[in-house]
């Protein structure tokens, strides 16, 4: 599974970095991040691109999600 690390990145970098990989047709992707804003935005992007989102870690200042198509 490919992985993208968006920890500490401000808006809209997490979405851009994730989108880059989704646009390449990646089927499975692990996204690791920190802020709740980026969590909302990345999961919104993934759902609108037809991916299933599963939260692996969902703490206050740390999250990991798996995206699958």
27 is catalytic: no
Instruction: Please work out the total of residues on this chain that contact other proteins, with binding judged by CB under 8 A.
Output: 20
- Would you call 69 helix, strand, or coil by DSSP? coil
- Would you call 67 helix, strand, or coil by DSSP? strand
Q: Which one of residues 24, 25, 50, 60 is an interface residue with other proteins (CB under 8 A)?
A: 60
Q: How far apart are CA 9 and CA 28, in angstroms?
A: 22
CA angle 59, 63, 64 (to 5 degrees): 135
State yes or no: residue 24 binds other proteins (CB under 8 A).
Answer: no
State yes or no: residue 45 binds other proteins (CB under 8 A).
Answer: yes
Residue ranges in contact with other proteins by CB under 8 A: 7-13, 15-16, 19, 34-37, 40, 44-45, 48, 60-61
């Amino acid at each position: 599974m490919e992985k993208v690390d968006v920890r500490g990145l401000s808006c809209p970098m997490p979405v851009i970095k994730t989108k880059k990989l989704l646009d390449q047709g990646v089927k499975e992707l692990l996204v690791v991040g920190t802020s709740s804003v980026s969590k909302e935005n990345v999961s919104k992007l993934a759902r609108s691109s037809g991916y299933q989102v599963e939260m692996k870690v969902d703490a206050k200042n740390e999250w990991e999600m798996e995206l699958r198509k």
